[in-house]
Chain A
Amino acid sequence: MKSWPIIRPYVMIAPALIVFLLFFIYPIYYMVYLSLHSWDFISPTKDFVGLSNFQQLLNSSEFAKVLSNTLVYTFGTVVFSITLALFLALWLNRSTRIHRLAQTAVFSPYIISLASIALLWLWMMDPDFGLLNWLLSLVGIPKQPWLTDQNTALFSLILVAVWKGVGFNTLVFIAGLQSIPKDLYEAADLDQSPKWRTFYKITLPMLTPTLFFLVVTNVIVSFQVFDTVHIMTLGGPVNSTNTLVFNIYMHGFRFFNIGYASAVGVILLILLAIMTWLYFRLLSKRVHYQ
């Protein structure tokens, strides 16, 4: 058994490797394969059509709209929820009873299922009987159309996403803040550093690993938004909230155009891959790890 030492490592990693190949690599391969074919799920044959699915989607104005919706949604969600979370974290980073209570309160939306949240907000955003418009009317602001208007629908979805995600981000930021050694702040105090400069020169640079982690995960989650779109708007009105994953779902499982849906999936994969690569190339250099 001379070959055993050579084979052994492969045997050892085989279980993990098989799972990885079966559930990660094969689906990706199959998606790419499908994106080059025309198929409706039912017919026994898949017709090879080359890049025509891609050609079709790149020429479609719907796809352009879907892509821009996804980018706007992602940008809005990530920027708002991370900025808001940072301020909340700075504010709540104390361990008195009231601060801990507020931390829990801010975090609670995160543990509720997104479907329930979508229904709840659908209700609250009802233009005629919703809670939000009633609240606005109390301060004399006219009724907003929320999800029913092209101009406000996407923003409304961003609002829901921020509301759900901000608690988690806040908690991660608080953890980040607590890992900054206290004596740095004491040294800054002795150096007569004004509060804003201490924040800008010490707190923020020390938080960069946290910030980087949150940006990467938040972007990925936002890019894959589906539940709220499906429950609250179905991509409407007039495609104003139609996003990539929802688009894939509609083409694949509603219009049974699996080839086209797979092509969109491939584009999504490429976009996320490029972005992740960019983070590590550009951002990671400016991240301080201890």
Chain B
Amino acid sequence: MAQIQLKNVSKNFDGESVIERLNITIKDGSFTVLVGPSGCGKTTTLRMIAGLEEQSEGEIWIGDHNVSDISPGKRDVAMVFQNYALYPTMSVRENIEFGLTNRKIPKVERKELVYEIAEIVGLTPYLSKKPQQLSGGQRQRVALARAMVKKPKVFLMDEPLSNLDAKLRQQMRMELIQLHKRLGTTFIYVTHDQVEAMSMGEDVILMNKGKVVQQAGPMELYNEPNSMFVSQFVGMPPMNVMSIEDLVTYSEDSWSFQQQGVSYIGFRPEKIKLLKAPSTSGFCLNCEIINRETLGAEIIYQLKSQIGNIQGKSYLTPMVNEKKVYVEVEYSDLYYFDKDGNRISSIIRTEMKSTLTAAGEKTS
């Protein structure tokens, strides 16, 4: 059992609160991703779990042990650092072996373990090389091997892929997922990249300003964001959100939503349809295409409407060459948020008749 629990954990740096009363439960054996914009406290949280940073208040539990006051080496965790933190003066073998030597594991056993791990991560030919002589991907593997060889209860990873190029990052992502399946240990992975979070995490903890905004699986996070922040953080491009007040001018029905406490309406760029004529079956905006990003399978449109700029994304459809188009979104794909940005999920699938023309006249 290596479930991790943070109970009312707070952290202050020089009197400034970075994390306030954080409560997190990380399931045993899960691949949990801590994600959020920079400065949201995700790395600090990870470092507190590792013991590299002392929490100002609260308790941290790993399995059945309260590790709040235990030194990092005794917490049975291993960490992969952002820039790997390999010991530059030691060979790959010594790097991997260092933690074992310190645990007074006999030499023969040590040697076996190092070879075993080196074989798994494909480092056997490089064992006597120095980290400097290795490529970025190989260094990454050394860092992983160094963590793995200790057979920890928990793996902590602090943006481990951010120093790799895009192609290698993709490959390492797959390898990490495979590795997690194979080891079955708890992985806690910190990243600021929502793509990494969504593609790797079984459980994603989205943080902002030192607080957990939402903890859920990636699909739930995408489909059922609990706030405007989540809806705009997850997904690429982010969700289009418009203020209801802007909409009121053009839409007959907006006022009734306003009455129900709706302040913002959002929809995902990939849920739109670009039509030549105004639609009668959904939420419709009259737009002008100002830019097209042609990425191949998908095309991202920058659209200008009466109520601000929005983005649209289409898959495997021919490019729309018209300058003026009608954007249609099905009512069921609309999201409603209150004035604090919290999701109002009770009015899903309510129809809203709003069709806007370029001139701002109502046409529906």
- Residues of A contacting B82 with CB < 8 Å? 183
Within 8 A of A (CB), among B249-274: none
B171: interface (CB < 8 Å): no
A143: interface (CB < 8 Å): no
Within 8 A of B (CB), among A2-42: none
B79 in contact with A187 (CB, 8 Å): yes
Interface size for chain A: under 10, 10 to 19, 20 to 34, or 35 or more residues?
10 to 19
A288 in contact with B85 (CB, 8 Å): no
B81 in contact with A205 (CB, 8 Å): no
Measured between alpha carbons, how far is A201 from B103 in the docked complex, in Å? 16
A181 in contact with B87 (CB, 8 Å): no
Identify the closest chain B residue to A191 (Cβ): B99
Measured between alpha carbons, how far is A183 from B52 in the docked complex, in Å? 10
Identify the closest chain A residue to B71 (Cβ): A189
Identify the closest chain A residue to B104 (Cβ): A192
B83: interface (CB < 8 Å): yes
Instruction: Say yes or no: A205-B83 contact (C-beta < 8 A), given A186-B72, A189-B73, A197-B102.
Output: no
Measured between alpha carbons, how far is A178 from B173 in the docked complex, in Å? 34
B89: interface (CB < 8 Å): yes
Measured between alpha carbons, how far is A193 from B72 in the docked complex, in Å? 11
A290 in contact with B88 (CB, 8 Å): yes
**Contact residue among A190, A288, A290 (Cβ-Cβ distance under 8 Å from B73):** A190
Given contacts A184-B85, A186-B81, A187-B79, 12 further A-B contacts (CB under 8 A): A183-B82, A184-B88, A186-B52, A187-B81, A189-B71, A191-B98, A191-B99, A191-B150, A193-B102, A201-B89, A202-B87, A205-B89
B60: interface (CB < 8 Å): no
Measured between alpha carbons, how far is A288 from B91 in the docked complex, in Å? 12
**CB within 8 Å: A-B pair count:** 65
Chain B interface SS verdict (over half): loop
B236: interface (CB < 8 Å): no
Interface of B toward A, CB cutoff 8 Å: 50-52, 71-74, 77-79, 81-83, 85-90, 98-99, 102-103, 146, 150
- Residues of A contacting B150 with CB < 8 Å? 191
A194: interface (CB < 8 Å): yes
Identify the closest chain A residue to B97 (Cβ): A191
Instruction: Say yes or no: A288-B103 contact (C-beta < 8 A), given A183-B83, A189-B73.
Output: no
A190 in contact with B72 (CB, 8 Å): yes
Identify the closest chain A residue to B83 (Cβ): A183
- Residues of B contacting A245 with CB < 8 Å? none
- Residues of A contacting B83 with CB < 8 Å? 181, 183
- Residues of B contacting A194 with CB < 8 Å? 102
Within 8 A of B (CB), among A166-201: 181, 183-184, 186-194, 197, 201
**Contact residue among B71, B72, B81 (Cβ-Cβ distance under 8 Å from A183):** B81
- Chain A's nearest CB lies how many Å from the CB of B363? 61
A88: interface (CB < 8 Å): no
A190 in contact with B77 (CB, 8 Å): yes
Identify the closest chain A residue to B156 (Cβ): A190
- Residues of A contacting B72 with CB < 8 Å? 186, 189-190
A-B contact pairs, 20 of them (CB 8 A): A183-B82, A184-B85, A184-B87, A184-B88, A186-B52, A186-B79, A186-B81, A187-B146, A189-B52, A190-B52, A190-B77, A191-B102, A191-B150, A192-B74, A193-B73, A197-B102, A205-B89, A206-B88, A206-B89, A288-B89
**Contact residue among A181, A186, A192, A201 (Cβ-Cβ distance under 8 Å from B90):** A201
Measured between alpha carbons, how far is A182 from B82 in the docked complex, in Å? 12
Identify the closest chain A residue to B75 (Cβ): A190
- Chain B's nearest CB lies how many Å from the CB of A240? 43
Measured between alpha carbons, how far is A39 from B209 in the docked complex, in Å? 83
Measured between alpha carbons, how far is A272 from B60 in the docked complex, in Å? 60
- Residues of A contacting B90 with CB < 8 Å? 201
Measured between alpha carbons, how far is A288 from B77 in the docked complex, in Å? 30
Instruction: Say yes or no: A183-B85 contact (C-beta < 8 A), given A192-B73, A192-B74.
Output: yes
Measured between alpha carbons, how far is A190 from B150 in the docked complex, in Å? 10
- Residues of B contacting A193 with CB < 8 Å? 73, 98-99, 102
- Chain A's nearest CB lies how many Å from the CB of B68? 16
A190 in contact with B78 (CB, 8 Å): yes
- Residues of A contacting B52 with CB < 8 Å? 186, 189-190
**Contact residue among B79, B85, B89, B103 (Cβ-Cβ distance under 8 Å from A192):** B103
Instruction: Say yes or no: A191-B85 contact (C-beta < 8 A), given A186-B52, A197-B102, A201-B98.
Output: no
Measured between alpha carbons, how far is A290 from B78 in the docked complex, in Å? 25
Within 8 A of B (CB), among A41-92: none
Identify the closest chain B residue to A290 (Cβ): B88
Measured between alpha carbons, how far is A206 from B78 in the docked complex, in Å? 23
Identify the closest chain B residue to A205 (Cβ): B89
Measured between alpha carbons, how far is A222 from B52 in the docked complex, in Å? 44
Measured between alpha carbons, how far is A190 from B98 in the docked complex, in Å? 10
Measured between alpha carbons, how far is A290 from B77 in the docked complex, in Å? 29
Measured between alpha carbons, how far is A290 from B71 in the docked complex, in Å? 30
B88 in contact with A192 (CB, 8 Å): no
Measured between alpha carbons, how far is A192 from B79 in the docked complex, in Å? 12
Q: Which of B79, B83, B85 has the most CB of A within 10 A?
A: B85
Measured between alpha carbons, how far is A83 from B73 in the docked complex, in Å? 30
B88 in contact with A288 (CB, 8 Å): yes
Identify the closest chain A residue to B52 (Cβ): A186
Measured between alpha carbons, how far is A98 from B103 in the docked complex, in Å? 37
A190 in contact with B88 (CB, 8 Å): no
Proximity bits, A258-275, B CB within 8 Å = 1, else 0: 000000000000000000
- Chain A's nearest CB lies how many Å from the CB of B97? 10
Q: Which 6 A-B pairs have the closest CB atoms?
A: A192-B73, A205-B89, A191-B99, A183-B85, A187-B85, A192-B102
